[in-house]
Amino acid sequence: MNHWIAMPILLPVLVAALLVLVARRDLVIARVLSVASCVALVGLALALFVSATEDGTHMYALGDWPAPFGIVLVLDRLAALMLLLTSVLALLVLVYALDGSDREGPHFHALWQFQLMGINGAFLTGDFFNLFVFFEVLLIASYGLLVHGGGRERLKAGVQYVVVNLLGSTLFLLAVGLIYGVTGTLNMADLAARVPEVAADDRALLHTGALLLLLVFALKAALVPVHFWLPGAYAKAPAVVAALFAIMTKVGAYAIIRLYTLAFGADAGASAWIAAPWLLPAAMLTLLVGMTGVLGARALGQLAAFSVLGSMGTLLMAVGLFTEQALGAGLYYLVHSTLVAAALFLIAEQLGRRRGRSGDRLEAAPPVAQGSLLGGLYFAAAIGACGMPPLSGFIGKLLILDSARESVSAVWIWGLILGTSLLAIIGFARAGSLLFWKSTAPAYAGGATAKLDPRASGTEPAALLPLAVIGVLLAGLVMLTVFAGPVSEWLDVTAAQVHDPGLYVDAVLGASGANE
Amino acid sequence: MELLVATAVGVLTSAGVYLLLRARTFPVVLGLTLLSYATNVYLFAMGRLVVNAPPIIDARAVSHTDPLPQALVLTAIVISFGMTAVIVVMALRSWFASGDDHVDALPRADAKEGR
């Protein structure tokens, strides 16, 4: 086995420790270290991506303890995809943050690295309790990042976010305890092997534990009815943090995909597909609530947060169908929605900076510097978020609709996805026309728009970097559209691999020897 | 002993949930603490309750207790301890910044901005 599997966890944690010790006062060193770490992570993720594509599922036994007893890391195509997406997003958003967002409070870069450690760990781990620990790591870092820069509203939202997530952690422990009490294992592969053999008397307990766990993952993924924390927290968070958090809800979705196909999937006997009857209706409601929120949002940040909620609904609908085809479509949409959400939050921040006191609120204000450029970026992101052609959101939704054809709830899925797309189009069009077209007549019109508001001098060369980052994120959507064929072929193979839990179990338990 | 442990978990949980539903930060923090105590005792009981047995397999011992839940509880205690500290600090900062300790909303700010 290769030791590189542990590196996406080790590298950020070592860099974070170094940042706290060495670079707490020196911003330049901190920036260099942090960006270097993120670049290295992208390289690592690419290497692991290639290795997972070519050689199938890898297992890495931490401390060389054999599989069901020690903690293992497992790298399969799904985990490799999530790692790659995380590292690319983190690098891009970090580059954006160099424009000044990282100066607003202390320890931004260290928290950023800890956050990456937690996210990467959650994607790689093959053990429940370890998953809990990595969830805590990423949450602790996210508490710090959420209140980065301070401010009354942000702190208030931060306290709510912490309380909700602490409650989630408590439920996680209860669920893990229940599952351990019934099956006697915490290893996911071992659990998959033991679930079919659980005695009939204990099955109710096992299901309680499993569904409690679904509730916890739903909380992370912001699924109705445990979605209330998301719009407030994401809208109040600093834009760079909200953009990184676009991957955090996907951690919940990833955990749902992982657990309920592996341990409670087709091979689980009487426990097969226990998540399906709960997940699909909840996801439908989430989509409806999210896109209705888009329609009623008062600020662009809030609108972006609600569109994240809507996209989670669409994604988990695809997951909730629990078929290979739907999962492949869902994964395509996952990549797309992560990029588009990050771009939206960053656009909202750029706009908020240029509009003085109006911020990113949806109200008429004097025209902004680089208005047409920002408007163009917003237009592209909105097309992506609504799922209109020609960008990848359209292809993602099309794939999901196509995969839902056979389902008994196909009518509901088609109706909801198409209906909410209309809501989203109206919401985004209304916001865009308010922000970019309905300007109050400037008192000294005619001159260069950049001179309207001294605080909003957006034409400085320094402002090119953030716009470039948004451009790259949107270019990612274009690439995803152009290469939709190869990408969705790769994702279909991934979905097939996820739906064949035997591969995962064999990789972990079969190789119960040591790391070579 | 089962009855005692089960009652303790139940009482701690119900008190914790009650406190969690209060509107101000201090009772909420206390509620979270009680809930984490309940979880720890509960996790401990998930390895089955055994008295006077070592957590290692030993030729001289007649029986042994499951060591894994003990390790889990240890981790959970450390994490919940740290989390309590974090939320106390954040609640204090929030109180200093906004002048009230309501968890759910900003009644005064909302009234002012006419939301």
**pLDDT at A510 exceeding the cut of 90:** no
Q: What is the pLDDT of residue A478?
A: 94
Boundaries of every domain in chain A: 1-270, 275-441+452-482
C-alpha of A78 from chain center: 14
Contact between B90 and A170 using a beta-carbon 8 Å cutoff = no
Tell me the DSSP string of A4-27: GGGHHHHHHHHHHHHHHHH-SS-H
CA distance A328 to A333: 9
Boundaries of every domain in chain B: 2-113
Q: pLDDT higher for A106 or A230? A: A230
Least CB-CB distance to A162: which of B35, B68, B87?
B87
Contact between B76 and A152 using a beta-carbon 8 Å cutoff = no
Contact between A159 and B76 using a beta-carbon 8 Å cutoff = no
Q: What is the pLDDT of residue A359?
A: 80
Contact between B93 and A181 using a beta-carbon 8 Å cutoff = no
**What tokens does A399 get?**
């794939």
CB contact set of B19 (below 8 Å; sequence gap of 6+): B27, B28, B30, B31, B34
Q: pLDDT higher for A427 or A66? A: A427
Least CB-CB distance to B94: which of A136, A155, A181?
A155
Q: What is the pLDDT of residue A23?
A: 79
Confidence of residue A56 (pLDDT cuts 50, 70, 90): confident
Q: What tens digit of pLDDT does each residue of A224-251 get?
A: 889 989 988 998 899 999 999 999 999 9
Q: Does A411 touch chain B (CB under 8 A)?
A: no
Confidence of residue B95 (pLDDT cuts 50, 70, 90): confident
Q: Does A156 touch chain B (CB under 8 A)?
A: yes
**pLDDT at A126 exceeding the cut of 50:** yes
The mean pLDDT value for A487-500 works out to: 94
Confidence of residue B105 (pLDDT cuts 50, 70, 90): low
Q: CA of B82 to nearest chain A CA: how many angstroms apart?
A: 9
With contacts defined as CB-CB under 8 Å, which chain B residues touch A151?
Answer: 97
Alpha helices in A404-483, H assignment, sequence order:
410-432, 464-482
Q: CA of A271 to nearest chain B CA: how many angstroms apart?
A: 21
The mean pLDDT value for B79-105 works out to: 86
Least CB-CB distance to B39: which of A143, A159, A174?
A174
Q: What is the pLDDT of residue A106?
A: 83
Q: What is the pLDDT of residue A64?
A: 85
Q: What tens digit of pLDDT does each residue of A328-378 get?
A: 999 999 999 999 999 999 999 988 888 877 888 888 877 777 788 889 999
Residue A24: how many CA atoms within 13 Å on its side-chain side? 3
Tell me the DSSP string of A235-278: HHS-HHHHHHHTTHHHHHHHHHHHHHHHTSSTTSGGGTTTTHHH
Q: What is the pLDDT of residue A445?
A: 44
Q: What tens digit of pLDDT does each residue of A406-418 get?
A: 888 899 999 999 9
Q: What is the pLDDT of residue A382?
A: 95
Q: What is the pLDDT of residue A172?
A: 95
Alpha helices in B1-115, H assignment, sequence order:
2-20, 25-45, 67-98, 107-113
Chain A interface, best mutation among B5, B14, B46, B92, by max A CB count within 10 A: B46
Confidence of residue B108 (pLDDT cuts 50, 70, 90): low
CB contact set of A12 (below 8 Å; sequence gap of 6+): A37, A41, A113, A114, A116, A117, A120
What chain B residue is nearest to A177 in terms of C-alpha separation?
A: B43
Q: What is the pLDDT of residue A455?
A: 46
Tell me the DSSP string of B19-31: HHTSSBHHHHHHH
Q: What is the pLDDT of residue A460?
A: 42
Least CB-CB distance to B97: which of A136, A155, A166?
A155
How large a percentage of chain A has pLDDT more than 70? 94
With contacts defined as CB-CB under 8 Å, which chain B residues touch A177?
Answer: 39, 42-43, 46, 69, 72
Residue B113 neighbours by CB distance under 10 Å: 8
Q: What is the pLDDT of residue A224?
A: 86
How large a percentage of chain A has pLDDT more than 90? 66
With contacts defined as CB-CB under 8 Å, which chain B residues touch A160?
Answer: 103-104
Confidence of residue B107 (pLDDT cuts 50, 70, 90): low
State how far the alpha carbon of A322 is from the alpha carbons of A103, A239, A333, in Å.
44, 34, 15
CA distance A94 to A112: 8
State how far the alpha carbon of B55 is from the alpha carbons of A303, B62, B64, B103, in Å.
54, 12, 5, 43
ipTM summary value? 0.89
**pLDDT at A36 exceeding the cut of 80:** yes
Cα of first residue to Cα of last residue in chain B, in angstroms, is 54
Contact between A170 and B39 using a beta-carbon 8 Å cutoff = yes
Least CB-CB distance to B98: which of A156, A160, A176?
A156
With contacts defined as CB-CB under 8 Å, which chain B residues touch A156?
Answer: 94, 98, 106
The mean pLDDT value for A316-323 works out to: 93
Q: What tens digit of pLDDT does each residue of B9-23 get?
A: 999 999 999 999 988
With contacts defined as CB-CB under 8 Å, which chain B residues touch A155?
Answer: 90, 93-94, 97-98
Q: pLDDT higher for A515 or B8? A: B8
Tell me the average pLDDT of chain A: 89
Contact between A177 and B98 using a beta-carbon 8 Å cutoff = no
Least CB-CB distance to A147: which of B90, B98, B104?
B90
Tell me the average pLDDT of chain B: 85
For residues A504 and A189, the answer to whether their CB atoms sit within 8 Å is: yes
Q: Which of A156-160, B41-45, B54-58 has the lowest mean pLDDT?
A: B54-58
Q: Does A162 touch chain B (CB under 8 A)?
A: yes
What chain A residue is nearest to B88 in terms of C-alpha separation?
A: A159
Confidence of residue A516 (pLDDT cuts 50, 70, 90): very low
Q: CA of B3 to nearest chain A CA: how many angstroms apart?
A: 17
Can you give the length of chain B in residues?
Answer: 115
Q: CA of B46 to nearest chain A CA: how many angstroms apart?
A: 5
With contacts defined as CB-CB under 8 Å, which chain B residues touch A129?
Answer: 72, 75
Q: What is the pLDDT of residue A446?
A: 44
Residue A365's φ and ψ, nearest 5 degrees, are: -145, 170
**pLDDT at A33 exceeding the cut of 90:** yes
Chain B interface, best mutation among A71, A135, A163, A187, by max B CB count within 10 A: A163
Residue A163 neighbours by CB distance under 10 Å: 22
Contact between B90 and A177 using a beta-carbon 8 Å cutoff = no
**pLDDT at A111 exceeding the cut of 90:** yes
Least CB-CB distance to B94: which of A133, A159, A178?
A159
The mean pLDDT value for A51-74 works out to: 88
Q: What is the pLDDT of residue A205?
A: 92
With contacts defined as CB-CB under 8 Å, which chain A residues touch B35?
Answer: 167, 170
